[in-house]
Amino acid sequence: MDQKGYRRGSFQSSTSDEDMLEIAGASVDLSMADDDPPLDREMGGFSTYNGGGMNGKSTMMDFLEEPLPGVGTYEDFNTIDWVREKSRDRDRHREITNRSKESTWALLHSVSDAFSGWLLMLFIGLLAGSLAGLIDISAHWMTDLKEGVCLAGFWFNHEHCCWKSNTTFTDRDKCPEWKSWSQLILGYGEGAFAYILNYFMYVVWALMFSLLAVLLVKGFAPYACGSGIPEIKTILSGFIIRGYLGKWTLVIKTITLVLAVSSGLSLGKEGPLVHVACCCGNILCHLFTKYRKNEAKRREVLSAAAAAGVSVAFGAPIGGVLFSLEEVSYYFPLKTLWRSFFAALVAAFTLRSINPFGNSRLVLFYVEFHMPWHLLELVPFILLGIFGGLWGAFFIRSNIAWCRRRKTTRLGKYPVLEVFVVTAITAILAFPNEYTRMSTSELISELFNDCGILDSSKLCEYVNDFNSTKGDDLPDRAAGPGVYTAMWQLALALIMKVFITIFTFGMKVPSGLFIPSMAVGAIAGRLLGVAVEQLAFYHHDWAIFSGWCSQGADCITPGLYAMVGAAACLGGVTRMTVSLVVIMFELTGGLEYIVPLMAAAMTSKWVADAVGREGIYDAHIRLNGYPFLEAKEEFSHKTRAMDVMRPRKNDPPLTVITQDSMTVEDVETIVTNTTYSGYPVVVSRASQRLVGFVLRRDLIISIENARKKQDGIVSTSIICFTDYCPPLPPSSPSVLKLRSILDLSPFTVTDETPMEIVVDIFRKLGLRQCLVTHNGKLLGIITKKDVLKHIAQMANQDPESILFN
């Protein structure tokens, strides 16, 4: 069945979607993207959702048999109809339940069907956890490879290498088996030339990794770039992007993610891990008919997979579920809540048993604080919140401006060059400063760390006064020269990270935002923390410190400031609140620190919202023109359905099909002359009383099929959508009955319905289109695209930026 001729049309709205293939800011050749089989085409019966007309038939025929291949499926870059999908699933479920009474085999089938969701979650958890472990281990090894190699085995990373070492050595990380490149090549590691050689090797490795990454992405899976969260949000809201969650994307994203992280670019693996987990979920859906054939059910699985992704990214299963609920998901019934939780737990435990960091923790930056905080410390915490909010808003604006520039100018034509230049700059700037040279997660881990007695890092070089030390508790101490050096280096690192991240996020490599944002916040927080600590140490007699911070007491924990700063910046960029606080809570494990985190996250969100309403993901969704109907924002304008519906005042009237008076030829003419995705069916043109709604795709397939297989169907055959077709003179050709493809329960609203209610209906029920009536007569149609355009227009944005339907 050749459908090339029929373009994916928009429902009764006239914008053409020429540029629809531009996803994530990159032109995509679909044939190359992913040759996933068109799953949605092999699907179950068109279901009895259409109402009475099919009840008799459907019970007789096998419900798994295909009445007509293609009927009821979607084309790429189209929006699904949630109501229809959920009805189809209920039909399927009903059929299986009814059958289960007939035989033991059917009963077993019914039970296995009921448990398939849990089984799927188990698989997703196992796969996502394993992949996360693999990514962690590889990235760790390759990051160290930039600095040197292990003689005991090149596959050992630095830490592992020194663990395996039998010889004794003084400094914890300077074992004889680990050779820096200069030691390996020149035979010595000190001196200017060795430094330059190491520098050179560092940059070369970084460039190699990042170029390999961008070439792989460009060559094999263009969808593998970016963080993937904006697209996943859009897909979960009911949009179809074939191949975005396919197996090629999974393989390439996993590989290139390791490369990109190892290259030292200012990006993280946390966002892309969500994409990887969703790919796992989508691919594993193929194992179960229930999920393979139903777009709505599959999206429930993807919501859970997103939770599993965050769970392994941060070692926070509960935070992952809340992230999926708060940030990513669109339709999140309670069943999905339970399953997400299960998947997130399985994933976390799989990762823990792989133990990528050798400390039975799920993340590199797990922390344990011991000291309580004082109420007055809320002031610096709120300051950090303000900083985070401002940085978030600044970052979003700059990044979107840069991405728009990339999209609209010739810059976008040279993604490889862009990656090369950014990597080179990053690597050259990063090497001299030890805090940018180390991987960003290690940096965060060091910043979160509360200095103990044995800590040898520069950040912990305090002037020790062992007389005042009691037990394990270290009092606040004067900062030594190491701390001051570290402060300067951190300040430089902060400036570098702030700017380079703007140019990094959006390049054609997998890139997450969580880690760079957290790094910026953690640096700022640690700087502030040390400042407050020293202030309290030198001026503990000041009124603000007296009473809670006497001399020799440990009252300020700079690590906590770093953590609060990280939460603030992450909150400013993503506008997460509860899930952010819960993730951080799971990292620290203490209820104590929820209040500082909450204060910072809330302040950050308010400040950032005051500057610009959108979080980074929503901004990218808008930049790319995806049809995403935001569930968080209330539509607050006073327009009515009649202002939004098509046709507008001076447009030609709505294209309709009558229920029993049009011929095959008439209908084919309408289909050829218009590009709409569906047509209302009315009693007669004169009365305009609505009978139902028929989809263009179903109509084309059915007519074509009837012409081929059914006797007596010619161009002059009458198409009849009613139950009982009017008697015709015997000479006339036989009637084509199409009641089975007619949706007898289209959603309707009156023309006076306020748009806020229409938006609510679209959002809550997941509609694709809605018909508008006045006093019982059909007036027009509103599609999801019309709603989105209207919202954009009301927000003074370009309504034409909404590309897809």
Q: Does 595 sit near a second copy (CB under 8 A)?
A: yes
Output the six-digit token pair for 274. Answer: 């969500």
Helix residue ranges per DSSP H, 168-238: 181-185, 192-220, 229-236
In the list 32, 39, 215, 578, the residue contacting a second copy (rule: CB under 8 A) is 578
**Residue list 612-651, contact with a second copy (CB under 8 A):** 631-632, 634, 636-638, 640-641
Nearer Cβ to a second copy, position 49 or 505?
49
Q: Does 97 sit near a second copy (CB under 8 A)?
A: yes
The contact mask relative to a second copy for 687-726 (x = CB under 8 A, - = no) is xxxxxx----------------------------------
Q: Is the peptide bond before 647 cis (omega within 30 degrees of 0)?
A: yes
Cβ within 8 Å of residue 121, ≥6 positions away: 301, 304, 339, 342, 343, 346
Q: Which of 608, 499, 494, 621 is nearest to 562 (CA)?
A: 494
Helix residue ranges per DSSP H, 539-577: 558-574
Nearer Cβ to a second copy, position 129 or 226?
129
Neighbours of 456 (CB within 10 A): 10
748-753 long-range contacts (CB < 8 A, ≥24 apart) are 748/690, 748/772, 748/773, 749/641, 749/773, 749/782, 750/641, 750/774, 751/640, 751/641, 751/642, 751/645, 751/779, 751/780, 752/640, 752/641, 752/642, 753/640, 753/641
Nearer Cβ to a second copy, position 497 or 575?
575
Nearer Cβ to a second copy, position 447 or 681?
681
Decide: helix, strand or coil at residue 44: coil
In the list 37, 38, 52, 726, the residue contacting a second copy (rule: CB under 8 A) is 52
Nearer Cβ to a second copy, position 321 or 706?
321
Neighbours of 311 (CB within 10 A): 37
Q: Does 374 sit near a second copy (CB under 8 A)?
A: no
Count of residues of this chain found to bind a second copy when the rule CB under 8 A is applied: 73
Which single residue is written with the structure tokens 């997998």?
Answer: 510
In the list 4, 166, 192, 334, the residue contacting a second copy (rule: CB under 8 A) is 334
Q: Does 60 sit near a second copy (CB under 8 A)?
A: no
CA–CA separation, 118 and 628 (whole Å): 29
In the list 491, 760, 794, 799, the residue contacting a second copy (rule: CB under 8 A) is 760
Output the six-digit token pair for 287. Answer: 């194992």
- For 795, phi then psi, to 5°, come to -90, 15
Q: Does 778 sit near a second copy (CB under 8 A)?
A: yes
In the list 24, 43, 71, 83, the residue contacting a second copy (rule: CB under 8 A) is 83
Q: Does 72 sit near a second copy (CB under 8 A)?
A: no
Task: For the CB of residue 614, give the shortest distance to a second copy in the complex, in Å.
Answer: 15
Output the six-digit token pair for 621. Answer: 């969704």
Only segment of 169-177, 195-203, 220-228, 776-784 that touches a second copy (CB under 8 A): 776-784
Task: For the CB of residue 566, give the shortest distance to a second copy in the complex, in Å.
Answer: 19
Output the six-digit token pair for 96. Answer: 């299986």
Nearer Cβ to a second copy, position 202 or 330?
330
Task: For the CB of residue 616, give the shortest distance to a second copy in the complex, in Å.
Answer: 17
Task: For the CB of residue 302, give the shortest distance to a second copy in the complex, in Å.
Answer: 19
Q: Does 776 sit near a second copy (CB under 8 A)?
A: yes
**Residue list 267-326, contact with a second copy (CB under 8 A):** 317-318, 321, 325-326
Q: Are 661 and 687 in contact (CB under 8 A)?
A: no
In the list 541, 752, 798, 800, the residue contacting a second copy (rule: CB under 8 A) is 752
**Alpha-carbon distances, residue 261 vs 587, 699, 700 (angstroms):** 22, 49, 48
Q: Does 548 sit near a second copy (CB under 8 A)?
A: no
Cβ within 8 Å of residue 278, ≥6 positions away: 228, 232, 245, 302, 305, 306, 309
Please report, as a single letter, which amino acid is at residue 358. Answer: G
Task: For the CB of residue 692, give the shortest distance to a second copy in the complex, in Å.
Answer: 8
Phi-psi region of 802 (alpha: psi -120 to 50; beta: other; left: phi over 0): beta
C-alpha 215: how far from its chain's center? 23
Task: For the CB of residue 600, give the shortest distance to a second copy in the complex, in Å.
Answer: 13
Q: Torsion angle of alpha carbons 17, 23, 29, 32, nearest 10°?
A: -140
In the list 30, 32, 42, 51, the residue contacting a second copy (rule: CB under 8 A) is 51
Only segment of 130-138, 172-180, 276-284, 595-603 that touches a second copy (CB under 8 A): 595-603
Decide: helix, strand or coil at residue 226: strand
In the list 753, 769, 783, 805, the residue contacting a second copy (rule: CB under 8 A) is 753
Only segment of 283-291, 434-442, 458-466, 751-759 that touches a second copy (CB under 8 A): 751-759
Task: For the CB of residue 701, give the shortest distance to a second copy in the complex, in Å.
Answer: 22
Q: Does 49 sit near a second copy (CB under 8 A)?
A: yes
Only segment of 534-542, 575-583, 621-629, 667-675 that touches a second copy (CB under 8 A): 575-583
Only segment of 11-19, 424-432, 697-705, 774-782 that touches a second copy (CB under 8 A): 774-782
Decide: helix, strand or coil at residue 799: helix
Task: For the CB of residue 606, give the shortest distance to a second copy in the complex, in Å.
Answer: 10
Q: Does 553 sit near a second copy (CB under 8 A)?
A: no
**Residue list 465-494, contact with a second copy (CB under 8 A):** none
Q: Does 87 sit near a second copy (CB under 8 A)?
A: yes
C-alpha 691: how far from its chain's center? 40
Q: Does 764 sit near a second copy (CB under 8 A)?
A: yes
Q: In what order do the strands lie in the sheet with 736-737?
A: 662-663, 718-720, 736-737
Q: In what order do the strands lie in the sheet with 657-658?
A: 657-658, 678-682, 690-695
Only segment of 48-56, 142-150, 540-548, 650-658 that touches a second copy (CB under 8 A): 48-56
Task: For the CB of residue 718, give the shortest distance to a second copy in the complex, in Å.
Answer: 19
**Residue list 412-431, contact with a second copy (CB under 8 A):** none
**Residue list 672-691, contact with a second copy (CB under 8 A):** 683, 687-691
Cβ within 8 Å of residue 16, ≥6 positions away: none
Which single residue is written with the structure tokens 């410190």?
Answer: 545
Nearer Cβ to a second copy, position 252 or 345?
345
**Residue list 514-543, contact with a second copy (CB under 8 A):** none
Task: For the CB of residue 404, give the shortest distance to a second copy in the complex, in Å.
Answer: 28
Q: Does 792 sit near a second copy (CB under 8 A)?
A: no
Q: Torsion angle of alpha carbons 246, 248, 249, 254, nearest 10°?
A: 130
**Residue list 338-367, contact with a second copy (CB under 8 A):** 338, 341-342, 345, 348-349
In the list 130, 750, 793, 801, the residue contacting a second copy (rule: CB under 8 A) is 750
CA–CA separation, 410 and 782 (whole Å): 37
Nearer Cβ to a second copy, position 645 or 713?
645
Which single residue is written with the structure tokens 């997400």?
Answer: 340
Nearer Cβ to a second copy, position 207 or 308?
308
Nearer Cβ to a second copy, position 6 or 349?
349
Task: For the CB of residue 313, give the shortest distance to a second copy in the complex, in Å.
Answer: 15
**Alpha-carbon distances, residue 211 vs 149, 228, 359 (angstroms):** 21, 20, 32
**Alpha-carbon distances, residue 643 vs 672, 676, 766, 771 (angstroms):** 28, 20, 21, 13
CA–CA separation, 243 and 233 (whole Å): 15
Task: For the CB of residue 377, give the shortest distance to a second copy in the complex, in Å.
Answer: 15
Nearer Cβ to a second copy, position 116 or 801?
116
CA–CA separation, 320 and 344 (whole Å): 7
Nearer Cβ to a second copy, position 440 or 579?
579
Task: For the CB of residue 56, give the shortest distance to a second copy in the complex, in Å.
Answer: 12
